[in-house]
Amino acid sequence: MENLQDNKLIGKRIAHIRKSKGFSQKELAHSLGISRPSLAQIELGNRNLLVVELLRLSEVLQMSIQEFLSEKPLNDHFVLSEPSANYIKERKQATTQKSGKLENILLYVLERCAGKPNVGETVLYKLLYFADFNYFEIYEEHLTGAAYKKLPFGPVPFEVDALINSMINSGMIQRIKTTYHTFAQTRFLPLVKPDLTQFKASEKEILDAVINQMSDWSASAISRYSHMDLPWRATKDGDIIDYELAFYREAPFSVRIYTEDIE
């Protein structure tokens, strides 16, 4: 399709039409017989759109082929439609189902990082965010299942506070108040060991990679970095960040190797 039209313009148009028709990325990818990451790469213009896929798009979205190939430019700003009630419900269910896993992930991250003076609440939450979204981008499965909101200082797992309070009351972690470079800081210290049998090898690998890359960063540095990640940029202030936006990432944030293969 690259000889008919610029791939990036076609990709933007497909994303725009998909959302205007109320299709999720997962639903449209299923209808086309490809994976969500493949559809994301088409929408980014990084993957060629085959003729058979264009015909199927025209059928599923009830749009003419010419509407997909129109030269009329679209707004360059990537806008994510607000999360549906089903999406929010799925996130809550995932968090509930994986609460035990999240406890052990928190303990594991704290065991490795709590001794670092820069790792307060802000850094901890950003480490969780990148671990979650990196894992989802690669494996299309949830690591912790936590839901993240777009807040001024970056993505925050808004349902984790209750779990942390429960862990404090259970004697699993301790909350302390301190200062770091004259700034007030909330830190957490692990009081018990994580149960590593709860982890898949792939989960530990992603956690270790994120910790090794970012756990020495300051709160301001890791917050600025999270602000450049597309899932955060493409979400409205205060809204839940859709995990599927991880498939739209580009370097240096993307952690998955994409191919042209048709699933």
| Residue partners of 161: CB distance under 8 A and separation at least 6 | none
| Residue partners of 75: CB distance under 8 A and separation at least 6 | none
Residue 7 token pair: 């791939």
Max avg pLDDT among 25-39, 76-90, 125-139, 147-161: 125-139
Which structural domains are found in the chain, ordered by start? Answer: 7-69 (1.10.260.40), 85-248 (no CATH)
Looking at residue 154, what is its pLDDT? 87
Q: pLDDT digit string (tens) for 27-81?
A: 888 888 888 888 888 888 888 878 788 888 877 877 777 777 766 655 444 444 4
Band of residue 93 on the pLDDT scale cut at 50, 70, 90: low
Tell me which residue has tokens 């909330």.
186
Mean pLDDT within 204-231: 95
Looking at residue 89, what is its pLDDT? 54
| Residue partners of 130: CB distance under 8 A and separation at least 6 | 210, 214, 226, 229
Tell me the β-bridge partners of 174.
189
In 3D space, the residue among 237, 238, 258 whose CA is nearest the CA of residue 247 turns out to be 258
Looking at residue 59, what is its pLDDT? 79
Angle between helices 85-97 and 99-113 (to 10 degrees): 70
Residue 36 token pair: 């969500």
pLDDT above 80 (res 248): yes
Tell me which residue has tokens 């699993």.
172
